[in-house]
Amino acid sequence: MAAAGWLQSALRPAGPDATRIYGLWVFMLWISAAVLLVVIGALLYGTFRRRRSRPDSDQQHTRQRRMTRAVATGAGVTVVILFAFLVFDFSVGRALGAPRRSGFEIELVGHRWWWEVRYLAPALPARVTTANEIHIPAGAPVLVRLKSNDVIHSLWVPDLTGKRDLIPGKRTSLWLQADTPGVYRGQCAEFCGQQHAKMALLVVADTRAGFDQWYASQLAPSAVPTDSVTMQGRQVFLTYACALCHTVRGTPAAASLGPDLTHLASRRTIGAGALDNNRGNLAGWILDAQSIKPGVDMPPNHLEPDEAQALLAYLETLK
Ligand code: CUA
């Protein structure tokens, strides 16, 4: 039932920032492994070397000097290694934050427990709002401005870059850039309450043409029902609780407590990565989201079977 197929890994960098972080990680790993080997070697040497008979005072002096020299060398090497880590870490941090030419900006708002994604003009023709899925053109840097109105969340798409917190009352930002088209999973990385674990999102990197096409389709208002079932479905949507929290552009539903559903059917998951977006999961989510993701704002909805079927048929048209 859970949304599958998208794995995340910091060890499989797919963008320039993740590649930098990976390089730092590999450097630290090998140096630390070498240090560990040297320490274990010294320990074994000290444990198993043959003890000589009681040394005279001359030998004792020599031994003392050798030990002092060994400890001083060890301390010196440690300082050099830590300093190298510091410099490398600092340079990676600077590179991640360095200004780039961004084609457009995205505002990402963390909610308990989902992600609101707003595409900001001016480079794009007008504003698009979606949820739990960030589309970007591959090969181009996109500035993501991070915001939270409730608690601290943290955006982490390990294949693409490092973590950045979303802090209420404070503006933070992050560059997202993917080398090649692909779908990259991200996860809230700061404990934010009961459903922190089910606060995932997908970054969909597309070709420039593919992205433009996606953006144009998102810009369009919602699909207009063409048959009696979907017409009934839209009626159900507008008369029951749905319209109190959600927006479907092109209808009177314009609330913003929950995700914008104008193009719900174009998204890969529902419930912020909790489930694959298909009819069965959507039905379960609408009727009783609390059993899937206890604590979410989405209330249970008591619908007659024909109303539920009509609503599902309508939602499936919202491509
Ligand atoms: Cu949002 Cu954890």
Is the confidence at residue 176, as pLDDT, over 70? yes
Task: From the CA of 199, give the closest atom in ligand 1.
Answer: 1
pLDDT attached to residue 52: 66
Is the confidence at residue 4, as pLDDT, over 60? no
CA–centroid distance, residue 153 to ligand 1 (Å): 4
Task: From the CA of 192, give the closest atom in ligand 1.
Answer: 2
Over the stretch 62-95, which tens digit does the pLDDT of each residue have? 888 988 998 999 999 999 999 999 999 999 999 9
Q: What is the chain's mean pLDDT, rounded? A: 93
Across the range 274-299, mean pLDDT stands at 95
Over the stretch 12-65, which tens digit does the pLDDT of each residue have? 999 999 999 999 999 999 999 999 999 999 899 989 887 766 777 888 888 889
Is the confidence at residue 130, as pLDDT, over 70? yes
pLDDT attached to residue 123: 66
Indicate if ligand 1 lies below 6 Å from the C-beta of 190.
Answer: yes
Over the stretch 181-194, which tens digit does the pLDDT of each residue have? 999 999 999 999 99
Asked if 153 and 166 touch (Cβ cutoff 8 Å), the reply is: yes
- Quick one: what percent of the chain has pLDDT higher than 90? 84
Task: From the CA of 188, give the closest atom in ligand 1.
Answer: 2
| Separation of alpha carbons 33 and 29, rounded Å | 6
| Separation of alpha carbons 274 and 201, rounded Å | 9
Cβ atoms within 10 Å of 7's Cβ, excluding its own: 10
pLDDT band at 1 (very low <50, low <70, confident <90, very high): very low
pLDDT attached to residue 125: 67
Indicate if ligand 1 lies below 6 Å from the C-beta of 135.
Answer: no
- Quick one: what percent of the chain has pLDDT higher than 70? 96
Over the stretch 257-267, which tens digit does the pLDDT of each residue have? 999 999 999 99
Query: What are residue 135's DSSP bridge partners?
Result: 204
Preceding amide of 113 cis, omega within 30: yes
Is the confidence at residue 274, as pLDDT, over 80? yes
